[in-house]
Amino acid sequence: MRRALELAATPGVPLGPNPRVGCVLLARDGRVVAEGYHRGAGTPHAEVEALAAAGSAARGTTALVTLEPCNHTGRTGPCAEALIEAGVARVVFAQSDPNPTAQGGAARLRAAGLTVESGLLAEESRVLNRIWSRAMELGRPFVTWKFAATLDGRSAAGDGTSRWISSPEARRDTHRLRADADAILVGTGTVIDDDPALTVRDAQDRPLPRQLLRVVMGERDIPAGRRVLDDSAETLHLRTHDPREVLAALWARDARHLFLEGGPTVAAAFLRAGLVDEVVCYLAPMLLGSGRAAVADLGIDTIADARHLEVTDISILEAPDSAPNIRLTLSPEPPATKEQ
């Protein structure tokens, strides 16, 4: 199963609507017959890839899979049926499938007479698919809000300037985090004032082959010539101020992870709606004393009503030519509940 998890974590696999899954087929004597992993939407699932590699040798094997075999027909057929037809004798999977559309694989396998066991390294499998699993439970994209701020909580000076509050190392780290998402969102105000490219770039500032869906939220028109209108990546303009409408539109486009980089107004809208699942803050060792706050009014008048966050990680980002930044990763408390 650990080998299946290694396969599932193969670098370069695009995310989106599908989880990372690995599969290993074992003969009765413990010999590895074949391996496979899912390579992205529209490609064979891990089980099907391993079965294809094994051919007739799959009969009588044990399949170890990091996620419960699916039981539905989408772009590909149900893996449960593929395992049954190949003559696999036993299936051991780590994590139960949280996707209501695909659930039921274990029951289908048992009904066909296969021995089925579950829960082996389940937590490791869930960690691997942490964001996808949570999105499936919520029924909407997982939202990561990222921002950079000074020690006194300012994201821009009084004259509107904000480059560069974050250090070069923090900006490189941001692009690493962006690359794991499906869509990136800002408001129309950020597009008009800052003209961001909203692309994903490597350490040498070169665009990566896979780019996120760029999402602009707001009713104002996007002025001609803004960089989000170029051909570097697809851009979706959603003329709404309602975060729920935004997430529903992105869910329908198979986006499972939204990277929120909008200004304080957009951030406040998502926070007030309880639609932020993770916060990543880059804290710079500087003070402004005035200027734009990192988040707009949340309707909080007393300290007793403060929004509390649980710190899940603290990292110091250092580089020889710049002051270090502190990256805080936080989880809102209590966690957001599933949208109805």
Please state, in angstroms and rounded to a whole number, the distance separating the CA atoms of residues 186 and 262. 4
What amino acid occupies position 152?
D
Please state, in angstroms and rounded to a whole number, the distance separating the CA atoms of residues 294 and 45. 42
Please state, in angstroms and rounded to a whole number, the distance separating the CA atoms of residues 238 and 328. 30
Q: What one-character DSSP code corresponds to residue 182?
A: S
| Residue 334's pLDDT band (cuts 50, 70, 90) | low
Cα dist from 24 to 4, 33, 44, 65, 92, whole Å: 6, 8, 15, 7, 10
Question: Which of 35, 47, 261, 278 is flagged as catalytic?
Answer: 47
| Residue 338's pLDDT band (cuts 50, 70, 90) | very low
Please state, in angstroms and rounded to a whole number, the distance separating the CA atoms of residues 233 and 216. 13
Please state, in angstroms and rounded to a whole number, the distance separating the CA atoms of residues 272 and 263. 14
Counted residue by residue, the chain has a size of 340
Task: Give catalytic status of residue 47 as yes or no.
Answer: yes
Please state, in angstroms and rounded to a whole number, the distance separating the CA atoms of residues 296 and 267. 7
Third-level CATH fold of 135-332 = Dihydrofolate Reductase, subunit A (3.40.430)
Q: What are the tens digits of pLDDT across the range 288-299?
A: 999 999 999 999
Q: What are the tens digits of pLDDT across the range 147-182?
A: 999 999 999 888 877 778 888 899 999 999 999 999
Domain positions in the chain are 2-128, 135-332
Q: In CATH, what number does 2-128 get?
A: 3.40.140.10
